Structure 1
Amino acid sequence: MPSARLLLPACLALAPLAVAATPVDYQFDPVHTQVVFNVDHNGFSRAFGRLKVREGTLRFDPDDWSKSSVQATIDLTSLDMGDAAWNKAVSASAFLDTAHGDTARYVSDAVEKRGADEGVVHGHFTLRGVTVPLDIPFRVNRIGRTIYGLHTVAGFSSSLTLDRTAFGMTSNRNSVGTTVTVWLEVEAIRGGEAPSSSKDTHDAPAQ
């Protein structure tokens, strides 16, 4: 029978294998994922808009970010500028041109870790039929169960700028800025768990 002196090193050698993390798949939560942008309006102010993510998935490995990935489809018809006339103008052919394509899509090529909770996604973004390389810096906010134990969630934040002319939106330069600032607030639910709904917060027990 093996002695304790022989068993101990063997157990220690196997221990890292037992706790090694693996990539986890998540589905974007459309209720708690926001795409907010703004652009200069004739130098007077910055106009704000919001878009929804139609669907998306991400894979995240907390121990090896290089094994992570993301893909997301943005619903351009969900545009909300806070005014019906603004929505119509921005959805028209001069800008988003939703009549010829109602989605935009991002697909990652690689994920790079640059700090304890910060990284960059390298990938490609397609809008109006034009695909350009796009790096998205991001911060990992939190990964864990929600306060009421409804879901296992991964939360991320990001901000970046886009040049709208790179996607063929070259009109109205005198009145609408060409640099668009974008903020991303993402919550993704671990695969296999039910998606979130607007009732989750309302039905949660009072504290």
Structure 2
Amino acid sequence: MKSIVFATAATLVLGAGAALAAPEKYMLDPAHSQVMFTYDHLGFSKTYNAFSGFEGEIMFDAEDPASSSVSVSIPTNKLYTGWEERFQHMMSEDFLGTAEGDMVSFTSTGIEVTGDDTAKIMGDLTINGETKPVTLDAKLNKVAEHPMNGKETLGFEATTTIKRSDFGAGKFAPNVGDELDVTISIEAQKAE
């Protein structure tokens, strides 16, 4: 049964198969979607940070799976560091140099299904006005009717590693790690 659920979910989310009548839109649930990232701090510890409360959508076209897409926009001021002074430093010109309304965005450019519940999602990541290609290793967790609101809901996780210096945020590298290990956890509900 589990393999049937995964195959169905892969078809819906990752573009693996059978025809649907029209593209299906799923909207990210901002209350249950986060992007976490860690970096090495001088070899002493790892520092953890997160973005939440952001928007995005997944579109799937069964007749042309290559047209399926994922797009996410994250206001930079939605960063949570756990320490106000670090937040203010991250918002400075040393790192994000952000103004009100500045965004981090990801737009997919292609999807390669790698298994019953896994895929590589290729796309363009934009931070600080710099756009670079990124590949996400994605895993579908579950596709089911949400028990509280009755909407069809998708849940998945993805990981990637990026270099902050690629996006003009490389202050103190290499003493403070240049590589960010990124983990994404998403819930998305079928649009009305």
CA distance in 2, matches of 1:135, 1:102: 23
CA distance in 1, matches of 2:117, 2:156: 10
Deviations 1:48-78 (A, max 9, x none): 0011252211023679753421111012101
The residue aligned with 1:181 is: 181
The residue aligned with 1:21 is: 20
Q: Is the 8 A contact 1:65 1:112 kept in 2?
A: no
Aligned identity (percent) is 30
> Any residues of structure 2 matched to 1:84-99 within 5 Å, and which?
84-99=84-99
CA distance in 2, matches of 1:100, 1:93: 14
The residue aligned with 1:131 is: 131
Alpha carbons of structure 1 residues 119 and 65: separation in structure 2 relative to 1, 3 Å: farther
Alpha carbons of structure 1 residues 44 and 63: separation in structure 2 relative to 1, 3 Å: farther
Give 5+ residue unaligned stretches, structure 2. Answer: 1-17
CA distance in 2, matches of 1:30, 1:109: 23
For 1:69, the aligned partner's letter is S
The residue aligned with 2:54 is: 54
The residue aligned with 2:71 is: 71
The residue aligned with 2:14 is: none
Report how far residue 100 of structure 1 moved: 7.5
Q: TM-score, normalised by structure 1?
A: 0.77
CA distance in 2, matches of 1:149, 1:80: 28
The residue aligned with 1:195 is: none
Deviations 1:59-111 (A, max 9, x none): 23679753421111012101111010111111111111113862111111111
Alpha carbons of structure 1 residues 53 and 110: separation in structure 2 relative to 1, 3 Å: farther
Alpha carbons of structure 1 residues 121 and 166: separation in structure 2 relative to 1, 3 Å: same
The residue aligned with 1:160 is: 160
Comparing 62-71 and 115-124, the one that deviates more:
62-71
RMSD: 2.0
Give 5+ residue unaligned stretches, structure 1. Answer: 1-18, 193-207
Report how far residue 170 of structure 1 moved: 2.5
The residue aligned with 1:199 is: none
Report how far residue 183 of structure 1 moved: 0.4
CA distance in 1, matches of 2:147, 2:100: 42
Secondary structure of 2:87's aligned partner: helix
The structure with the largest alpha-carbon Rg is 1
